[in-house]
A and B are shown apart, each in its own frame.
Chain A
Amino acid sequence: MDLQVTEITVLPGRDKNGETEHFDRIVIRPGETLAIVGPTGSGKSAFINDIEVFARDDTVTGRTVLVNGAIPPDDYVRDPAKKPIALITQNTKCLADLKVAAFLEMHVRSRKIEGDEIISETIALANEFTGEKITPGARMTSLSGGQTRSLMVADAILVGSTPVIILDEVENAGIFKDRVIEVLRRYQKAVVFVTHDPLVALMCDRRVVMRNGTVVRVIEHTDSEDEALSAVKKMDGILCRLRERIRAGEAITGGVQAV
Chain B
Amino acid sequence: MKLVVIAGPPSAGKTAVVRQILRNLGTGEKAAYLKIDVVRAFEDEELATEFSIPTRKVYSGDLCPDHAGIMVMADALRWAEKEEASILIVESAGLCLRCSPYVTQALGIVVLSAVSGTHAPLKMGPMIGLADVAVVTRIDLVSQAEKEVFREGIREVAPEIEIVETNAVQGTGMRYLLRRIAEADEVRDAATVELRGVPPLGVCTVCVGKKEIGWQHHFGVVRRLGDAGNLFRGD
Report Cα–Cα, A111/B137, bound state, in Å: 22
Looking across the interface, which residue of chain B has its beta carbon closest to that of A83?
A: B144
CB atoms of B141 and A91 under 8 A apart: yes
Enumerate chain B residues within 8 angstroms of A59, measured Cβ to Cβ.
Answer: 170-172
Whether A192 sits at the interface, judged by CB under 8 Å, is no
Partner of A159, one of B116, B145, B174: B145
Least CB distance from B156 to A in Å reads: 10
CB atoms of B145 and A98 under 8 A apart: no
Partner of B118, one of A98, A159, A162: A98
Partner of B146, one of A49, A60, A95: A95
CB atoms of B152 and A89 under 8 A apart: no
Contact residues, B153-212 vs A (CB, 8 A): 155, 163, 167, 170-176
CB atoms of B175 and A56 under 8 A apart: yes
Enumerate chain A residues within 8 angstroms of B148, measured Cβ to Cβ.
Answer: 80, 107, 110-111, 160
CB atoms of A60 and B170 under 8 A apart: yes
Enumerate chain A residues within 8 angstroms of B170, measured Cβ to Cβ.
Answer: 49, 59-60
Whether A1 sits at the interface, judged by CB under 8 Å, is no
Interface size on A, residues (CB 8 A): 35
Enumerate chain A residues within 8 angstroms of B149, measured Cβ to Cβ.
Answer: 96, 98, 103, 106-107, 110
Looking across the interface, which residue of chain A has its beta carbon closest to that of B174?
A: A58
CB atoms of A95 and B115 under 8 A apart: yes
Q: A80-B147, A96-B146, A110-B152 are in contact. Are A49 and B172 (CB under 8 A)?
A: yes
Partner of B141, one of A89, A97, A98, A160: A89
Enumerate chain A residues within 8 angstroms of B176, measured Cβ to Cβ.
Answer: 74, 77-78
CB atoms of B145 and A152 under 8 A apart: yes
Least CB distance from A141 to B in Å reads: 9
Which of B116, B148, B171 has the largest count of A CB atoms less than 10 A from its CB? Answer: B148
Whether B151 sits at the interface, judged by CB under 8 Å, is yes
Partner of B142, one of A78, A91, A103, A110: A91
CB atoms of A89 and B140 under 8 A apart: yes
Contact bitstring A46-77, B, C-beta under 8 A = 1, else 0: 00010001011011100000000000001001
Whether B27 sits at the interface, judged by CB under 8 Å, is no
Whether A101 sits at the interface, judged by CB under 8 Å, is no
Enumerate chain A residues within 8 angstroms of B151, measured Cβ to Cβ.
Answer: 80, 110
CB atoms of B146 and A156 under 8 A apart: no
Whether A88 sits at the interface, judged by CB under 8 Å, is yes
Looking across the interface, which residue of chain B has its beta carbon closest to that of A61?
A: B170
Least CB distance from B210 to A in Å reads: 36
Whether A87 sits at the interface, judged by CB under 8 Å, is yes
Least CB distance from A205 to B in Å reads: 23
CB atoms of B172 and A53 under 8 A apart: yes
Contact residues, A94-124 vs B (CB, 8 A): 94-98, 103, 106-107, 109-111
Whether B10 sits at the interface, judged by CB under 8 Å, is no
Enumerate chain B residues within 8 angstroms of A97, measured Cβ to Cβ.
Answer: 117-119
Looking across the interface, which residue of chain B has its beta carbon closest to that of A77?
A: B173
CB atoms of A94 and B146 under 8 A apart: yes
Report Cα–Cα, A169/B164, bound state, in Å: 27
Least CB distance from A55 to B in Å reads: 8
22 A-B pairs with CB atoms under 8 Å apart are: A49-B167, A58-B175, A77-B176, A78-B163, A78-B176, A88-B143, A91-B142, A94-B143, A95-B114, A95-B115, A95-B118, A96-B146, A96-B149, A96-B150, A97-B117, A103-B118, A103-B145, A103-B149, A106-B152, A107-B149, A110-B155, A152-B144
